[in-house]
Amino acid sequence: MILEKLKAFYKKKKLAVWKLEISNRNWKLENGNNRFLISIFHYQFPVSNFQFHLSMQKHTRHLPALAKEAIEFLGPKPNQNFIDCTIGDGGHAEVILDKTAPRGKLVGFDRDEQALNRARKFLSKFGERIQLINDNFANLDKYVDTASKPDGILFDFGFSSAEIQDPERGFSFHASGPLDMRFDRRQELTAAHIVNMYVEKDLVRIFRQYGEERYALKIARQIVQTRKKSPIAMTQELVRVIGQAVPASYLRSRIHFATRVFQALRVETNAELEAIEAALPKALAALKPGGTIVAISFHSLEDRIVKHLFKDWAKQDLVKILTKKPIRPSEPEIENNPRARSAKLRAIQKQK
Ligand SMILES: C[S@@+](CC[C@H](N)C(=O)[O-])C[C@H]1O[C@@H](n2cnc3c(N)ncnc32)[C@H](O)[C@@H]1O
């Protein structure tokens, strides 16, 4: 039945399948510039009730959230220099580089080597004007040249479409893959380690603190029970365990029942909040007076840190807050890019 659906889909779209890759339960189909991910997996709620789920996603370049607004606040002009702390697929960076031609430079950070390779490809036309660094933005002070302070610094937190769509990275609860979730694959800590090795009370803490998950205790208990029999290695196994721990009504809620636990594991795996807390003061120190910092957050934990630090600095007259309230994406942007729906942008200007 699934193959029939696929054939019909391809016939309708007039696409020829050029390449088929099968890994875990995911099929990757490539056709020219289009990459489709097809995930086939099952849930067991209750154990006797199998549900097959077919999801198709088109792999395309990450669409930058709130790009127009970010660029308006950064205000790039010819020959100015910028830092993009989260280069991803280089969507924001490309607009900045276009506007800072002919000699403006951009330093781009990403913890993910694959992201840097993609950015390098997408931004190749800018040649020597870009410098890409495979490191945590929390270390940005190591790379900033004090003689040429940047005119603006951008943070666009979280993960890119390429990362969430690749089942091998383990970020998505919609696809079957190893419980990895590392941005930087040189790092030792993985989500699988956390799930299988953390004691129950630490699991509860991270699910509560980083996922704001109301069934944190039940889920942590179910994980501990399950892993006694065999380790939980794959994303879909974890989804199943979460499904067994929460009430039936939760399984039907608007937000997928695994969302919060997956967010919590990602935040813990990558020490994401610590990185933001460390990086923002370093960005302020590195910035040229009169320059702008723009930070785009995707959940309240990130936004809270940005908001409090910006307020604190404004009280000390170090900065002027340019966004009294966070900027949210417009309805047309959300329609075009549903991933942008939770984005919040805050901007400040460094005082003299
Ligand atoms: C939302 S994406 C950025 C998308 C980008 N603005 C664009 O237009 O394509 C976030 C990127 O930041 C990277 N990232 C997340 N945390 C990081 C950190 N602490 N240091 C450096 N890069 C990080 C992720 O690997 C991901 O590629």
What is the value of pTM for the model shown? 0.85
Residue 137 Cα to ligand 1 midpoint, Å, equals 9
Query: Quick one: pLDDT at residue 51?
Result: 34
Select from 110, 116, 182 the residue to mutate for testing ligand 1; criterion: most ligand atoms less than 8 Å from CB: 110
Query: Quick one: pLDDT at residue 352?
Result: 74
For ligand 1, atom 15, the nearest C-alpha belongs to 158
For ligand 1, atom 12, the nearest C-alpha belongs to 86
pLDDT in tens, 249-271: 999 999 999 999 999 999 999 99
Residues 94 and 282: their CA atoms lie apart, in Å, by 24
Select from 106, 109, 183, 301 the residue to mutate for testing ligand 1; criterion: most ligand atoms less than 8 Å from CB: 183
* CATH superfamily, domain at 188-269: Putative methyltransferase TM0872, insert domain (1.10.150.170)
- Is 115 near ligand 1, meaning CB less than 6 Å away? yes
- Is 301 near ligand 1, meaning CB less than 6 Å away? no
For ligand 1, atom 18, the nearest C-alpha belongs to 136
- Is 162 near ligand 1, meaning CB less than 6 Å away? no
**What residue ranges do the domains of the chain occupy?**
2-59, 67-161+272-350, 188-269
- Is 298 near ligand 1, meaning CB less than 6 Å away? no
For ligand 1, atom 20, the nearest C-alpha belongs to 136
- Is 169 near ligand 1, meaning CB less than 6 Å away? no
Q: Which CATH number fits domain 67-161+272-350: 3.40.1080.10, 3.40.50.150, 3.20.20.120, 3.30.70.260?
A: 3.40.50.150
Residue 157 Cα to ligand 1 midpoint, Å, equals 6
Which parts of the chain have pLDDT scores under 70?
1-59
As a whole-number percent, the residues of the chain with pLDDT over 90 amount to 81
In CATH terms, are 67-161+272-350 and 188-269 the same topology? no
Residue 105 Cα to ligand 1 midpoint, Å, equals 19
